[in-house]
Copies of this chain bind each other. A is one copy, B any other.
Amino acid sequence: MSYTAPIKDMLFVMSELANLDAISALPGCEDATRDTAEAVLEENAKFVSGVIEPLNHAGDKEPSYWHDGQVTTTKGFKEAFRQFADAGWQGLQHPQDFGGQGLPKLVGTPCVEMLHGANLSFALVALLSDGAIEALMTAGSDEQKATYLEPLVTGQWTGTMNLTEPQAGSDLAAVRTRAEPQGDGTYKIFGTKIFITYGEHDMTENIVHLVLARTPDAPPGVKGISLFIVPKFLVNADGSLGARNDAHCVSIEHKLGIKASPTAVLQFGDNGGAIGTLVGEENRGLEYMFIMMNAARFGVGMQGIGLAENAYQKAVAFARDRVQSRDLAGSSGPVPIIHHPDVRRMLMSMRAQTEAARALAYVGAGFHDIAHHHEDEETRAAHQAIYEYLVPVIKGWSTEMSENVARDGVQVHGGMGFIEETGAAQHYRDAKILTIYEGTTAIQANDLVGRKTLRDGGKVARHLLAQARATATQLGELESGDLAVIRARLEQGATDLEAVVDFVLANAKSDVKAVFAGSVTYLKLAGIVLGGWQMARAALIAQQKLSSGAGDASFYRAKITTARFFADHFVAQSTAMRAAIVEGHAGVLALPEEMF
């Protein structure tokens, strides 16, 4: 059983929750009609199921390997990437001017989900290129754009993101890599970068490294970091490749998961200096890197959702197939384990979390499109703020939930889940990176508290809560039992989330550590309540469709059932999470360090 893209749910979310029709009415988004979106999704689904997903297990069994500075990727990856690029998938969301298709993020996002769902290790190379493209588009010079963008957008080359150094980890203030100006507009780069995803590979003829480094007179800390383009091969004026640059892969990591994705240690400048060019202005590197990171963080959230969908499908297939023990309500012999209530509970839990996270992420993608394409500046700004509030939630919560879903996926398989050939264990291992890279969940939570809640005094958070409550009010007008429960849970969830936002705002100055002691729980609570809100909207729309007799009744009934499950099993946790934050912060910090 291989991965089947959940196109029906994707289209439902795009059309009904993320308002695809309104997006396609925006200037520059005219191509994104329902019909086009459906055609794109179907084509993409065919491609990832046929070409990309079959390489997933192979990549785990025969990972990419390093020898003498070269990385050989898993057999088949190079050819698959060529097909991926040639079909235009790398350029789906990027401007037509640079060889892309120029489709809005709302249409690109399901394709990203599918690619990650099919093969996380493979998809990473595309994710990193997307980030590099966004950064260059925003901050690159015309010459840099002319040189690098088209090859990246068309997948002729790939991009990387070089932040982490051995002594610094996530602390960019501690970056030591040096950039020495050569007087000719170029710089020589010296330093070591670690954890560089696809920092070296054999899939394309060139690799465009975006590297954080310090110029000689840079101020200390994050205010003295600049961003440089350091290509693996220098690029001649005519676009052809020149000399090999002094940027070399000295090893790759032996990892728990995503084994086919080479995680490189890159050494810059050991043989005289790697040639780089400055992106934008000196000392503004962090700002540009954040453009890449925000794109990448949203993408990592999609990795979580894609992986969760795949793990869910694998578990369902196994549960239908595996016959064991009688039905509790009586049966003449053993039955498929999907009949057993706890297996059903795990499958529902996997399904409900995946659907809720997908709905929230796609709605976020829609906000991104409005923020970039709407004619009204205020509307753009308002939606940009909402999108930025959602990014850490989409990244942090979707990936945390994907760990739980992958875990349940193994559990549904029982003993077979622990055997590597089954494939469930690979999801469990692969998922563990998602809550770590592109900023751990704690770093996402710091962002949510600091930049996204404190800075605007909770304005965006309250706006979203008001909208959630409006949905609850609409639900109150319908009388079905499920919808009434969904409404009550959503209202309680909104109350609890608001209490937490109030707590964050009230205590950030007087007791900053108490606030950050609960930041990850706040992030998860925001995910559950805002994801629950999307599920409530979905249930409401499904109920309206059922009442009007339009469309696929069993799909709509399933949506209501899944929303109800999400309300009872996840949104219902809101009060305990609020207690952990508001009443439980003291216990987080009370134990003296030496007593651990």
Contact between A576 and B572 (Cβ–Cβ < 8 Å)? yes
Contact between B325 and A596 (Cβ–Cβ < 8 Å)? no
Residue among B418, B421, B580 making CB contact with A433, cutoff 8 Å: B418
Q: Measured between alpha carbons, how far is A324 from B172 in the docked complex, in Å?
A: 9
Which residues from B are CB-within-8-Å of A442? 340, 342-343
A351 close to chain B: CB less than 8 A: yes
Q: How many residues of A contact B (CB 8 A)?
A: 93
* Interface hit among A95-103, A239-247, A509-517: A509-517
Which residues from B are CB-within-8-Å of A257? 418
- CB A563 to nearest CB in B, in angstroms, measures 9
Contact between B564 and A169 (Cβ–Cβ < 8 Å)? no
Which residues from B are CB-within-8-Å of A46? none
Contact between A174 and B334 (Cβ–Cβ < 8 Å)? yes
* Interface hit among A114-122, A141-149, A497-505, A587-595: A587-595
Residue among B256, B351, B562, B568 making CB contact with A580, cutoff 8 Å: B568
Contact between A254 and B169 (Cβ–Cβ < 8 Å)? no
Residue among B256, B325, B341, B435 making CB contact with A589, cutoff 8 Å: B341
A591-B334 contact given A342-B445, A411-B435, A584-B569, CB 8 Å threshold:
no
Which residues from B are CB-within-8-Å of A419? 253-256
Identical copies in the complex:
2
* Interface hit among A123-131, A201-209, A424-432, A471-479: A424-432
**Contact residues, A164-219 vs B (CB, 8 A):** 164, 168-171, 173-174, 194-195
Residue among B342, B345, B432, B554 making CB contact with A425, cutoff 8 Å: B432
A169-B572 contact given A254-B419, A407-B403, A442-B342, CB 8 Å threshold:
no
Which residues from B are CB-within-8-Å of A437? 415
Which residues from B are CB-within-8-Å of A237? none
Contact between A334 and B195 (Cβ–Cβ < 8 Å)? no
A483 close to chain B: CB less than 8 A: no
Contact between A517 and B341 (Cβ–Cβ < 8 Å)? yes
A341-B572 contact given A432-B410, A592-B554, CB 8 Å threshold:
no
Contact between A517 and B432 (Cβ–Cβ < 8 Å)? no
Could you say which of A326, A568, A587 has the most chain B C-beta atoms within 10 Å of its C-beta?
A: A587
A580-B572 contact given A418-B255, A516-B341, A517-B341, CB 8 Å threshold:
yes
Name which residue of chain B comes closest to A322, CB basis.
B169
Which residues from B are CB-within-8-Å of A93? none
Residue among B348, B415, B554, B561 making CB contact with A436, cutoff 8 Å: B415
Which residues from B are CB-within-8-Å of A348? 587-588, 591
A420 close to chain B: CB less than 8 A: yes
Q: Measured between alpha carbons, how far is A136 from B515 in the docked complex, in Å?
A: 57
A565 close to chain B: CB less than 8 A: yes
Contact between B256 and A428 (Cβ–Cβ < 8 Å)? yes
Contact between B575 and A587 (Cβ–Cβ < 8 Å)? no
Contact between A420 and B255 (Cβ–Cβ < 8 Å)? yes
Contact between A324 and B558 (Cβ–Cβ < 8 Å)? no
Contact between A485 and B583 (Cβ–Cβ < 8 Å)? yes
Contact between B255 and A513 (Cβ–Cβ < 8 Å)? no
A579 close to chain B: CB less than 8 A: yes
- CB A567 to nearest CB in B, in angstroms, measures 8
Residue among B418, B433, B441 making CB contact with A432, cutoff 8 Å: B418
Contact between A596 and B512 (Cβ–Cβ < 8 Å)? no
Which residues from B are CB-within-8-Å of A329? 512-513
Contact between A587 and B573 (Cβ–Cβ < 8 Å)? no
- 1/0 per residue A544-584: CB within 8 Å of B? 00000000001000100110110011001101100110011
For the complex with contacts A255-B419, A338-B593, 10 further pairs of A-B residues with Cβ separation under 8 Å are A164-B415, A171-B325, A256-B418, A256-B425, A342-B517, A342-B520, A344-B589, A561-B590, A565-B584, A569-B584
Q: What are 22 of the A-B contact pairs (CB < 8 Å)?
A: A169-B414, A170-B324, A173-B325, A174-B324, A255-B418, A255-B419, A256-B429, A320-B596, A329-B512, A338-B593, A339-B593, A347-B596, A348-B587, A348-B588, A351-B596, A407-B432, A417-B432, A418-B433, A561-B587, A564-B587, A565-B588, A575-B576
